[in-house]
Amino acid sequence: MFATLTDRLTTTFKTLRGKGKLSEADIDATAREIRIALLEADVALPVVKEFIAAVKERARGAEVSEALNPAQQVIKIVNEELVQILGGETRRLRFAKQPPSVIMLAGLQGAGKTTLAGKLALWLKGQGKNPLLVAADLQRPNAVNQLQVVGEQAGVAVWAPEPGNGAGDPVAVARTGVEQARSKLYDVVVVDTAGRLGVDEEMMRQAADIRDAVKPDETLFVVDAMIGQDAVNTANAFLDGVGFDGVVLTKLDGDARGGAALSVASVTGRPVMFASAGEKLADFDVFHPERMASRILD
C-alpha cells in the first residue's frame, strides 16, 4: 500500500549490502519499490516514470551522508521530490489589489464545486473577507438552490439569477454578480460554474466565456480525488479549454492514497491549493504539500 512506502524502502535496504553508500543495486531495488507503491496508489504511469527517473538521478548524485543510512537518504529524496511536485510551499490565494477579487471554480459535475464554494466562503470569512457567492451553474437543476443553501450555512450572500432576468445565461449571471460585488463592496467573489459528467466542448466554451467575462484573479480546478488516474485527462482538458491557476482536491476523506494529487500536480504543473475532506463546510483547509508527502511516505 501507498501508506507504507517508508516501510517498503526500509525493508529493501535491510536486504542489501553496502550500508554506507548507495550502490546502483540499492537504487534499482528502491526504484522498484517506489514504482509499486505509486502504481498501487493510482498515480498515472507517466508520472510514476518521471518521478522515479528524478529520484534515481538524485540518489546517484547524492553525497554519502554520515548522518543518514541509505534508506533514510532515499526516503529524504523521495519526500523532497513529492513535496516539490505537489507545489513546494503551500500556495496562498492571490487577491486583487483593487477589490473585488474574483475566484472562478471549474470542474466536472459532481466534483464538489458547489459544496466547495460554501467551504471557501466560510474559510474566506475566517480570513476577514466579505465574500459573495455567484450561482453561474445553470446546468444542474438544483445547483442554484444548493448554492443558496451552502451560502446560508456559511452566512454569506449569494447572487443568483432572477427568473426572467437573464436567468438562462450563465455568462450574464457571472458578470452581473461581479458588478454587484463591486457596487455593494464585497471584496471577494466566488463564481460557481456548470460542469458535466464528462469533458464536453460546450461546457468548456461556457466556462471560457465566463472566464473572459469576469477575468478571474484565480481560476481553481476542482477535482474529486477518488477518480484516480482519470483526474489526469480531466485536468488536461480543463487546462487546455479554460486554463487554471491552482487545483482543489475534494473527497480526500475517501481517498487515503493521494495518487490524484500527485498526478494532477505533476502533469499540469499547477499547485494543489486547497483540500476538501468531507461533506461539512468546515471539512476544508489549505493544502500542505509536506503533509501530503508524509501521508504518502508514512
Q: Where along the sequence are the contacts to ligand GDP (CB under 6 A)?
A: 107, 109-115, 140, 195, 250-251, 253-254, 276-279, 283
- Please indicate if the annotation marks 108 as binding a ligand: yes
State the number of CA atoms in the 13 A half-sphere of 223 facing the CB.
Answer: 35
Q: Which lies closer to ligand GDP via its Cβ, residue 46 or residue 254?
A: 254
State the nearest-atom distance from the C-beta of 211 to ligand GDP, in Å.
17
- Please indicate if the annotation marks 252 as binding a ligand: yes
Q: Which lies closer to ligand GDP via its Cβ, residue 99 or residue 110?
A: 110
State the nearest-atom distance from the C-beta of 251 to ligand GDP, in Å.
4
- Please indicate if the annotation marks 15 as binding a ligand: no
State the nearest-atom distance from the C-beta of 44 to ligand GDP, in Å.
22
CA distances from 197 to 33, 142, 144, 252 (A): 35, 15, 18, 20
- Please indicate if the annotation marks 250 as binding a ligand: yes
In whole angstroms, what is the distance from residue 30 CA to residue 25 CA?
8
The number of beta carbons lying within 10 Å of the beta carbon of residue 152 is 12
Cell of 39: 502504481
* Residues 6-23 as b or e (16 or more Cβ within 10 Å = b): bebbbebbeeeeeeeebe
Q: Which lies closer to ligand GDP via its Cβ, residue 27 or residue 117?
A: 117
State the nearest-atom distance from the C-beta of 150 to ligand GDP, in Å.
8
Q: Which lies closer to ligand GDP via its Cβ, residue 234 or residue 276?
A: 276
- Please indicate if the annotation marks 111 as binding a ligand: yes
Nearest-CA neighbor of 277 among 257, 255, 253, 297? 253
Q: Which lies closer to ligand GDP via its Cβ, residue 117 or residue 265?
A: 117
- Please indicate if the annotation marks 180 as binding a ligand: no
Query: Residue 2, SS3?
Result: helix
Nearest-CA neighbor of 118 among 203, 27, 222, 218? 222
- Residue that has been written with the C-alpha cell 445553470 in this structure: 138
- Length in residues, the chain: 298
- Please indicate if the annotation marks 193 as binding a ligand: yes
Query: Residue 205, SS3?
Result: helix
- Residue that has been written with the C-alpha cell 536486504 in this structure: 15
- Please indicate if the annotation marks 251 as binding a ligand: yes
Cell of 42: 493510482
Q: Which lies closer to ligand GDP via its Cβ, residue 91 or residue 251?
A: 251
State the nearest-atom distance from the C-beta of 161 to ligand GDP, in Å.
16
- Please indicate if the annotation marks 76 as binding a ligand: no
Q: Does a cis peptide bond (omega within 30 degrees of 0) precede residue 100?
A: yes
State the nearest-atom distance from the C-beta of 85 to ligand GDP, in Å.
22
Nearest-CA neighbor of 50 among 96, 6, 82, 98? 82
Q: Which lies closer to ligand GDP via its Cβ, residue 8 or residue 113?
A: 113
Cell of 94: 492571490
State the nearest-atom distance from the C-beta of 285 to ligand GDP, in Å.
11
Q: What residues are designated binding site?
A: 107-114, 192-196, 250-253
Q: What residues are designated binding site for GTP?
A: 107-114, 192-196, 250-253
